Structure 1
Amino acid sequence: MMATVHTTRPITPLLRSAVGRLRFSLRPLQAFGGRLRYLLPRPRRFSGCYPDYQTALAAARAAGAMPGYDHAEVAPVSFDRMCRVAPWDYPVLFWLQRLSGDIRTLVDAGGHMGTKYLAFRAQLATSWPDRWIVYDVPAIVEAGRQRAAAEGLTGLHFVTDLREAGPADLLLGSGLLQYLDIPVSQLLLRMVALPPHLILNKVAFRKGAPHVTLERIGPALVPYQMRNEEAFLDEITALGYELVDRWSIPSLSHVIDTHPEMGASESAGFYFRLREARGRGDAPD
């Protein structure tokens, strides 16, 4: 005997509904030309947790990725976005304008291809330093020199050795410290003389012991450091600097995708000055 199927709805509408759901589920596949790889999970931005920079760098090599930042392929990643003023840049602009009478030479450490030079030109048009010098790794500096020459940016200079920059009135490090492979005090001591003014922005911290993760930047895995803030401040003040200003950047808090139990990082910016260096831009005591 043939079984009878009882339904309160016609078969055709049911089929149409099922096909409609199937079409909806296939839309991402159709939208990307049928390439299934676009449906796979996006690569993790942060992965791994390591005790120091070199261990993290070795892990990047072991993973078969391009290790570190010193690669021409990394230079164009997010370049246009980094050339725009972001909300966390405004405290930096405030202090650059306030200190403009004291700043003739500015060293932009970790300044990429001059992204802050390009972002800040309009805001600092009337208080621009005489010399803006970018210090970065060789591959990024070479790409920056080529771009600056092509665009006629004669006021932008590049060095791979801080001694080549000569004496500077201010060192700016915006997003530098996460990727720095040496202590920040060692970086400053490589200069001809300690700069009277120091602005460090987008510094990543965590509660407790510091650690290093790996950040995916284009084709590379780059060690990304999360410091202990108390130890960081001790390191800077031991060089003779005093803290003048600090600002928080909540939107740059990050969680390591593979280690969420470590908690979110914090991000902050700072303006320091040498204790004996006081100019008309300094805040009153």
Structure 2
Amino acid sequence: MTAMAAWNQRLLPAVRWLPAGTAMRRWLYQTRFRAGKYHCGYSGVYGGFEAARLALPPGLAGFDHDAMADIDHYTTTAGGFEPMPATEYPVLFWLREALDEGARTLLDLGGYVGHAFRQYDRYLAFPEDFRWTVFDVPRITEAGRALAGKEAAQRLRFTNAVDEGCGMDILLAAGSLQYLSENYLQDRLSAWADRPRHVIVQRTPLHARRSFVTIQAVITRARQVAFCPYSVAERAGFINGMLALGYQLVDSWEKPRSLDVPFHPECHVETYSGLYFRLKAS
């Protein structure tokens, strides 16, 4: 049961008798949401990413903060990272295919401090000449460089310039597209004269019938709350946008995770998606 569902069971029945009960339930939820009571909670539906950004509650906005770059928990266990979840194996498979074809450069779009590199390297043993570049916001990449420096991770680097992805062999977007503006991936790819041959999308919410933007609350390890716009693309439109750029959809898979925006049942997403696109030969 989700935190929101448990809260509904405990609290909402108590206010159903009140006048304008739905309005009261909305107010109670908003009060708790703004106070940071829901980690990965969602609120509202907005006309676009910018509209959601302008509607963010008071608090940390986005991920470019020291509080969001806490890397201590990555160094407290052997290897620093949890075992590979089963839903990551399709990514491993297609990365291996790309490596076998000679791919040696990758842009990790919104890759935080490089955790995906470390996880996948355990299984794939990336070649010495392989270069994994993480694109993220400045505070995150600063923390990532500090961590990589301690490990002498020569194959891992960080950038704040997404267009460095032009000319790379692989683009990986694992759990990041929802934190970027609508059509961000297609817009960047369309601007690149030399597009990645391989594009892997992972842990991304795609809706069966609509696109929308909501606001997500994230609770940091220091118990601070950060709010950020959270965009969800319509699945067919997202895929068609990639096809229009010359890609073909080779594979797709699902991650058992749902998304619900309270008071907006039309925005329910049953599972998160994984997709592998390959650029057609010219």
> Which one has a bigger Cα radius of gyration?
1
Shift of 1:152: 1.9
2:38 partner amino acid: P
Q: In the alignment, which residue of structure 2 is the partner of 1:210?
A: 211
- Indicate the SS of the match to 1:252: coil
Q: What's 1:241 paired with?
A: 247
Question: Percent of counterpart pairs with the same letter?
Answer: 32
Q: TM-score, normalized by length of structure 2? A: 0.75
Unmatched segments (≥5 aa) in structure 1:
1-39, 278-285
Superposed counterparts of 1:41-190, under 5 Å? 42-43=37-38, 45-60=41-56, 63-76=57-70, 80=74, 83-84=81-82, 85-101=84-100, 102-125=102-125, 130-165=130-165, 167-183=167-183, 184-190=185-191
- SS of corresponding position for 1:150: helix
The change in CA–CA distance for 1:170 and 1:262 in structure 2 (over 3 A counts) is closer
Contact 2:71-2:143 at 8 Å conserved across structures? no
1:189 offset after TM fit, Å?
A: 3.5
Over 3 Å counting, the alpha-carbon distance change for 1:181 and 1:41 in structure 2 is closer
Deviation at 1:79, TM superposition (A): 6.3
CA positional deviation for 1:137: 1.6
Structure 2: which 5+ runs fail to align?
A: 1-34, 220-224
CA distance in 2, matches of 1:110, 1:271: 17
Check 1:126–1:55 CA distance in 2 against 1; reply closer, same or farther (3 A cut). closer
Partner of 2:113, secondary structure, is coil
Distance change >3 Å, CA 212–CA 265, structure 1 → 2: farther
Structure 1 residues 83 and 226: CA distance shift in structure 2, 3 A: farther
Q: Is the 8 A contact 1:200 1:270 kept in 2?
A: yes
Amino acid at match of 2:69: A
* SS of equivalent to 2:122: coil
**What TM-score, normalized by structure 1, do the two folds share?**
0.74
| 137-146 vs 234-243, greater mean Cα deviation | 137-146
Return the alpha-carbon distance in structure 2 between the equivalents of residues 170 and 200 of structure 1.
Answer: 11
Q: CA deviation at 1:64?
A: 0.5
Change (3 A) 1:171 1:41: closer
More strand by share: 2
- 1:156-195 per-position Cα deviation (integer Å, ceiling 9, x unaligned): 1111113335521111111121111252111223546201
1:128 Cα shift? 7.2
Q: Do 1:132 and 1:156's aligned partners in 2 also have CA atoms closer than 8 Å?
A: yes
Return the alpha-carbon distance in structure 2 between the equivalents of residues 56 and 259 of structure 1: 15
Moved more, 176-185 or 240-249: 176-185
Q: Tell whether the 8 Å contact from 1:173 to 1:200 is kept in structure 2 after alignment.
A: yes
Contact 1:109 1:176 (8 Å CA) reproduced:
yes
Matched positions, count = 236
Q: Are 2:247 and 1:229 equivalent residues in the alignment?
A: no
Structure 2 counterpart of 1:270: 275
Preserved CA contact (<8 Å) 2:181 2:231: no
Partners of 1:98 and 1:234 in 2: CA distance: 24
Q: Cα distance 1:129–1:56, how it changes in 2: closer, same or farther (>3 A)?
A: farther
The Cα shift of 1:259 comes to: 3.2
**Post-superposition shift, 1:41?**
9.6
Q: Is the 8 A contact 1:206 1:227 kept in 2?
A: yes
Letter in 1 for 2:207: R
